[in-house]
Every structure is written in structure tokens, then in C-alpha cells.
Amino acid sequence: MEQLILHEDWISGNCYKIRLTAALLGLPIERRQYDITKGETRTPDFLANVNANGRIPVLQIGDRFLPESNAACWWLASGSPLIPQDRFDQADMLRWMFFEQYNHEPNVATLRFWKAHIGLDKLTDAQRALVPGKEVAGNAALALMDQHLTGRDFFVADGLSLADVALYAYTHVAEEGGFDLGAYPAISAWLARVAAQPGYVGLGD
Amino acid sequence: MEQLILHEDWISGNCYKIRLTAALLGLPIERRQYDITKGETRTPDFLANVNANGRIPVLQIGDRFLPESNAACWWLASGSPLIPQDRFDQADMLRWMFFEQYNHEPNVATLRFWKAHIGLDKLTDAQRALVPGKEVAGNAALALMDQHLTGRDFFVADGLSLADVALYAYTHVAEEGGFDLGAYPAISAWLARVAAQPGYVGLGD
């Protein structure tokens, strides 16, 4: 296999998804760290050679570059049991991965970043005005997940898939964003099931 | 094949993506209309039986329901030339589809909805405060697309894929959101290429 290099900031859940996918599959991956708070993903070199969108994570596969965390997880898991083969289940897995990027990450991950890493007192007025709406929308995403997981072990079909990996990344640190996971018992049980998987690594590992 | 029913609001680009995918593949699809401005996707019946997330589009496949526009397109196009078989190209297609939902739709589609369908004068103060940021972010997404399309016919590899379908839906009506497509010549040429595809249908068809 071509050499795999993850361009990342280890604190980011989006980057962690890729490390967790690689670990579950036993794939070695080299890591290159960037500090987004210092603009290290906005340099001319990064924009020209890694990602014109100025964002991490980017999975480098040989000399090719793949941005977007869930697309990188898809590449890694291609042909593995982390992607169901059944036509409906495969689309349903992507359904949860798109939900994650649209309904979950912009609320749960952004509030974690603002509260635990930037600090509420350092936000701009425009950012601070968004906090209440993101709290409501983040809890709505968590409530939908909890409802879906009630009576199920994993998000899709009967086993662990990339839908679980994608949603686990920011859900398991949602309390850093001020969310109360105690209110979501099915999520709490599912988090424990994911963390018990063979090959599992934590965000700080 | 099981009967396909699209739960939709025809004016929505996310719903149009699914109709366009079905049309390009020659798949018949029944349409059920909902008016989101009247709360028709938030009724107890809709939440219990169609989508607990209260959103459209939802693709109904027999008695199963698949939310998230790009996941529905994936189901429809499974095994067709609209999804490249090459491992990198397939992940790269998903990369642009995640980009669409994260960087493009929340800016380009939301401003179109607010300006052309709700009316700027009817927005809440909180919504109005978001307009300048969404204008900047929407133009950044369009600039990135234009840069990528310069020298290319389509987003991924050498042919039309779901990445083109997903990004076409709201880009071709971006001027309704106040974006000047004249500033993006590679996008304009690509829009014409997509519209010339056999089987193409327009948003209002």
C-alpha cells in the first residue's frame, strides 16, 4: 500500500475519526501536526500543496491528497467490514455521516472548540450570538441519535460501521462543549460499545 | 425494483439533486410535495413515519426511508457510472459531496432561501446578522470550485459523477442568493456541460 500521511491537529475530532478508522483496521499512518489557531493551515505552501480549502484533516495517499474527514475514512475502510455491502445499509451509513457533518459537527464540535479551546470570553460578539442556537441544535442532534440508538447496538444494521466512527468522534467529548450526556442513556451505552472495539484508540492516544 | 417515492419540496435544491440523479439514470420516481414554510415536515405523522429529523428530502424505497439528499443519490446511483469504481476517485467524489453539505449548502442555499423565498425584510435579527458571513463563505466555496474546475470538465476523474450533481443543484441557482456567477467562468462552463447531459431535467421540470 502507498504511504499514508495524516495532516492533522490531534485535538480535532475530525482528525481523530481518521486515526480511529486506521487503528480499527490495523493500518499504519504517519502524522503531521498543524496548529489551526496559529494559521498553519492557511500558509501559501499548505494551500498550494495540501488543501486549497485551508482545512485539516487531509489524508495523503502517496502523492495524492484527500480532504474531508468522512471521505478519508471511506478511502481507508474501502472493502472492509466497516462499510456494509448491502445497498440500503451502505446508503444509510452515508446518511448518518452526512447528518454528522450537517447537524452534529457545526453545533457539538463548534461549541466544544469555542468553550474548551478558545474560551467564551474570547469569542467575537457574532460568535457569542450563535451559542444559544447551537446549544439547541446540538441537543436536537443528540436526542435524535439517542432515539435511534434505543434498542440498537450500532447506527446501521448489526455491526460497527463508519457511521459509528464519524458520530463517536465529537459525541464522546460533547461534555467539553457543555452538553450533558447523562441525558442520553442510549448514547452513553453506545459510546462504551465503540470504546470496547478491538484496535480502539482514544483521541489523546 | 421497489417503488421509489421522493418526499420533497420541489423548490429545494437538495430535493432536486435526487430527481436529477434519477432522471440521468432513467429511474421512475413518484413525488410527494410538502411545504416547509407551513411546517408540513414537522407534523407528528411526518416525524413518526418519514423522518424523525423533520426534514426533506427523504427517499422512500418500498417501506424503508432514507433521509439526507446525498445518501439518497448514492442509493440511486449504486453500481452506475455516476459513482466511479476507482478507490481514490470514489472517495474523492464523496469528498466533494461532504464539501457541498458543509461549505456550500449552508451558505449558498441558505442565502437563496432567505433572499428569494423568505425575503430579507422578514428575517429575524439573528438571521440578518449571519448574512455577511454567509456571503463571504459562499463566495469562498464558489472560488474553490472555480479553481478546481479550471482545466477540468467535471469534478472527479474524467466524467460526470454524483459530485457534479450534488454541487450543480444549488450552484446553478446561486444568483437567486445574490452570488455573481459571472465572476466564475470555469463554473459557468461546467454548469452548461451538466445541463447538456442526456436525461437532464431542470429544477422546475
The verdict on residue A82 lying in a domain is no
Give the number of other Cβ atoms within 10 Å of residue B145's Cβ.
22
Assess whether A91 and A190 both reside in one domain. Answer: yes
Per DSSP, the residues of A129-198 read HHHHHHHHHHHHHHHHHHHHHTT-SSSSTTS--HHHHHHHHHHTTGGGGT--GGG-HHHHHHHHHHHTST
CA quadruple B116, B120, B122, B124: dihedral sign: positive
For A46-67, give the secondary structure using H, E and C: HHHHCCCCCCCCEEEECCEEEE
**Contact (CB, 8 A) for A91 and A156:** no
Assess whether B72 and B93 both reside in one domain. Answer: no
Inter-chain CB proximity A66 and B52 less than 8 Å: no
CATH of the domain at A147: 1.20.1050.10
State how far residue A116 is from chain B, nearest Cα, in angstroms.
Answer: 22
Pairing relationship of beta strands B30-33 and B4-8 according to DSSP bridges: parallel
Assess whether B99 and B43 both reside in one domain. Answer: no
Inter-chain CB proximity B88 and A144 less than 8 Å: no
Give the number of other Cβ atoms within 10 Å of residue B187's Cβ.
25
One-letter identity of residue A1: M
Any chain A CB within 8 A of the CB of B25? Answer: no
pLDDT of residue B37: 85
Alpha carbon distance A22, B88 (integer Å): 16
Inter-chain CB proximity B52 and A148 less than 8 Å: yes
Assess whether A169 and A128 both reside in one domain. Answer: yes
Assess whether B56 and B114 both reside in one domain. Answer: no
Q: Which of A12, A68, A86 to mutate to test the interface with B (most CBs of B within 10 A)?
A: A68
Mark which of B55, B77, B99 sits at the end of a domain. B77
The verdict on residue B149 lying in a domain is yes
Assess whether B9 and B59 both reside in one domain. Answer: yes
Closest by Cβ to A75, choosing from B69, B88, B97 = B88
Assess whether A67 and A14 both reside in one domain. Answer: yes
Alpha carbon distance A145, B127 (integer Å): 27
The verdict on residue A175 lying in a domain is yes
Q: How far is CA A42 from CA A56, A121, B5, in A?
A: 10, 25, 44
**A4-31 pLDDT, tens per residue?**
999 999 999 999 999 999 999 999 999 9
The verdict on residue A203 lying in a domain is no
Alpha carbon distance B92, B102 (integer Å): 15
Which residues, 6 or more positions from A106, have their beta carbon under 8 angstroms from its beta carbon? A134, A137, B102, B106
Nearest CA in chain A to B47: A144
Any chain A CB within 8 A of the CB of B61? Answer: yes
Closest by Cβ to A66, choosing from B91, B133, B148 = B91
**B84-103 pLDDT, tens per residue?**
999 999 999 999 999 999 99
C-alpha count within 13 angstroms, C-beta hemisphere, residue A33: 5
What is the number of structural domains in chain A? Answer: 2
The C-alpha cell 410527494 sits at: B32
pLDDT of residue B36: 87
Q: Which domain holds residue B189?
A: 87-195
CATH of the domain at B35: 3.40.30.10
**A157-189 pLDDT, tens per residue?**
989 999 999 999 999 999 999 999 999 999 999
Assess whether B132 and B179 both reside in one domain. Answer: yes
Closest by Cβ to B87, choosing from A52, A78, A95 = A78
Inter-chain CB proximity B88 and A72 less than 8 Å: no
Nearest CA in chain A to B68: A95
The verdict on residue B105 lying in a domain is yes
With a cut of 0.95, is the ipTM above it? yes
The arithmetic mean of pLDDT across residues A65-83, rounded, is: 98
Residues 99-118 of A with CB under 8 A from B: 99, 101-103, 105-106
Mark which of A77, A99, A125 sits at the end of a domain. A77
The verdict on residue B204 lying in a domain is no
Q: Which of A27, A47, A53, A146 to mutate to test the interface with B (most CBs of B within 10 A)?
A: A53
The verdict on residue B203 lying in a domain is no
**B135-170 pLDDT, tens per residue?**
999 999 999 999 999 999 999 998 999 999 999 999
Assess whether B13 and B39 both reside in one domain. Answer: yes
